[in-house]
Amino acid sequence: MDELYLDNIDEFVNDHDKIVTYKWLSLTLGIHVNTAKQMLFHYLDHKRKESSAQLHATYLVSGKFVDNGQTSHKVSVVREEQLEDVKAKMSLIVSVHVYSVQKALLKDSGPLYSVDYDAVKDNLKNCSKYSAIRCATAVPMSSLELQQAREMHRPPSPEPENKKPAMNGNGILASKPSAKPAKGIMGMFANKSTPKNQDSGREIKSEQKEDAPVVDAPKSRPAAKANPMMNFFGSQPAKKPEKNVKEEEAAQSSSTAAEKQRRSPQPEQKRGDVVAEPQKNTKNDSRSKNKRIEDSDSEEDKMEKKKRRRIKLPEPDSSDEDVIPDSPPQMETREASPSPKKEVEAVTHSYQGNSDGKIRKRRRVLKSRTFVDEEGCIVTEKGYESESYSETEDDFQPTKQALRDPFKASSSKDDEKKSQKKSSASANKGTKQASIMGFFQKK
């Protein structure tokens, strides 16, 4: 490989201020992912030696992790500073490689996902062309098969939530890693494709441990997230075997291919999303991601047509409240068929007749209530309330507050401005903003 790529990457990183992930690079330049990883590594090395620009990198670390006697496979994307730390915590490191290179110091992992989103979306049919994970039997279902699968899977609706993990979308992740038993001992650890994280997240594929220029020092993103994750593992003694999963790791007690928890637990409604992943043949990660994005896109389109909405989708919208169906969430159904996340909502609603002809439905909505408690702190609590709504109701109301986590604005938050805001708020909840114009307004 010639040296031109160094200039290419340089241009992307320095001139365009882009975040260059290995996946994006591979799709943009049309090269194999492993080549992309190596390129990034060399670029980083080169630049560091020159000590010219200020560059930041993230790394993907995957390996075995033991927690309370339970072994699991953990894949995480970490910042450079945390790389050594994370590596030290793993009992066995399967793979470490550069995940991305960028100029900006990323405060969270969100942009990493965004970077790949469009690149993958544009190459939906062949986004696994350059990937290292292969499975001959992973073939997208034809639409006929898809429909049959959906019909079959709908009646045995949500399974009981006996495994009620503390986190929201992770129940599904328990599913599988289907892996191809590759050659020899490397086969045991390699190619553990893991199901997508909540929103067709990212990788989580464990790469073949090969010549990969082992780069060190990823930063472990999920320092705080590791805990809830571990809780999840703790409560998961047995894994539900997936249909056509070829399980290589017989040795492991809990064969969860971890998720790289890049994001904090998404709200419940995302569970629906994750159901789509563990399709029976989830060997090829990117392929199933294909399907998911495809599905979600087509769902969105359908929903848009149905509800005459715009870009704003009925559910996972930041300013909307959580909407979940009355029946227990669909996340437990992983009968290997991509149940569309939104169709679930639409279909399982109970219909109520209405005099003016509109279709009224009932739904359980996650509503948050803000109130001032004894200590004078503003507390936001979320709770489910059943409400009825009409299909044509305009749910774009500017005053919605979808506050998910109970947010205790206690004075331990040391921002002075905020505490001022809070004290004025608790003192006088009615007014929005103290303003000098208030003096002039009453005429």
Q: Is 413 in the site for other proteins (CB under 8 A)?
A: yes
410 binds other proteins (CB under 8 A): no
Largest CA distance in the chain: 86
Q: Which stretch binds other proteins (CB under 8 A): 154-162, 186-194, 236-244, 405-413?
A: 405-413
107 binds other proteins per the rule CB under 8 A: yes
For residue 223, the minimal CB distance to other proteins (Å) is 14
**According to CB under 8 A, which one of 301, 326, 375, 387 is a site residue for other proteins?**
301
Find the binding residues for other proteins in span 159-188 (CB under 8 A). none
Q: Based on CB atoms, which residue is closest to other proteins, 142 or 399?
A: 399
Q: Is 108 in the site for other proteins (CB under 8 A)?
A: yes
443 scored as a contact of other proteins (CB under 8 A): no
Taking the complex as a whole, the smallest distance from the CB of residue 112 to other proteins amounts, in Å, to 9
Q: For other proteins, which is the closer residue by CB, 212 or 379? A: 379
Instruction: Return all residues near 12 (Cβ < 8 A) that are at least 6 apart.
Output: 18, 20, 25
User: Sheet holding 70-79: strands in order across?
Assistant: 20-21, 92-102, 56-67, 70-79
| Structure tokens given for 336 | 């290997």
Place of tokens 């936001």: 380
Strand-pairing partners, residue 369, are 381
- Selected from 49, 164, 432, 443, the binder of other proteins by CB under 8 A is 432
308 contributes a contact to other proteins by CB under 8 A: yes
Tokens describing residue 88: 């030290």
If you search the block for the tokens 């593992």, which residue do you land on? 233
The token duo for 261 is 């928890």
Tell the smallest beta-carbon distance from residue 407 to other proteins (Å). Answer: 5
Q: Tell me the residue type at 334.
A: R
CA distance to 55, 121, 197, 272, 414, per residue, from 292 (Å): 33, 11, 11, 11, 42
Cα separation, 97 vs 205, in Å, equals 12
Q: Which of 131, 286, 296, 333 binds other proteins (CB under 8 A)?
A: 296
Q: Is 372 near other proteins (CB under 8 A)?
A: no
Q: Is 199 in the site for other proteins (CB under 8 A)?
A: yes
Binder among 63, 316, 325, 329 for other proteins (CB under 8 A): 316
254 part of the interface to other proteins, by CB under 8 A: no
Q: Which stretch binds other proteins (CB under 8 A): 4-12, 185-193, 248-256, 261-269?
A: 261-269
Q: Which two tokens stand for residue 353?
A: 């007749």
Instruction: Choose among 62, 8, 83, 86: nearest CA to 40.
Output: 8
Q: CA distances (Å), 114 to each of 24, 199, 392, 428, in order? A: 10, 11, 31, 40
Strand partners, 70: 67
Nearer to other proteins, 93 or 274 (CB): 274
Stretch that binds other proteins, among 186-194, 236-244, 342-350, 434-442 (CB under 8 A): 434-442
Measured CA distances, 139 to 11, 123, 190, 283, 286 (Å): 37, 16, 21, 10, 12
List interacting residues with other proteins (CB under 8 A): 17-19, 102-111, 113-115, 117-118, 199, 263-264, 266, 270, 296-297, 301, 304-305, 308, 310-312, 316-319, 370, 378, 380, 396, 398-399, 401-405, 407, 409, 413-418, 421-422, 425, 431-433, 435, 437-438, 441
